[in-house]
């Protein structure tokens, strides 16, 4: 069982579609990062 699970996430910043259908599953003890174009 995942500690955190995100499915089909979409995020907009103004007219910019920054996240397009992102799915992430994080298990206990894992380290996950999301890095965008601005670092």
Residue 24 lies in a domain: yes
Task: Give the whole-number percent of the chain exceeding pLDDT 70.
Answer: 97
Mean pLDDT of the chain: 90
Residue 39 lies in a domain: no
Domain that holds residue 9: 1-28
Residue 10 lies in a domain: yes
Q: Are 3 and 26 in contact (CB under 8 A)?
A: yes
Residue 1 lies in a domain: yes
pTM above 0.85, yes or no: no
Number of structural domains (the chain) is 1
2 Ramachandran zone, left/alpha/beta (phi>0; psi -120 to 50) = beta
Residue 14 lies in a domain: yes
């Amino acid at each position: 069982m995942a500690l955190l699970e995100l499915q089909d996430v979409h995020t907009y910043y103004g007219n910019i579609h920054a996240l397009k259908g992102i799915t992430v599953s994080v298990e206990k003890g894992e380290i996950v990062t999301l890095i965008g174009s601005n670092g």
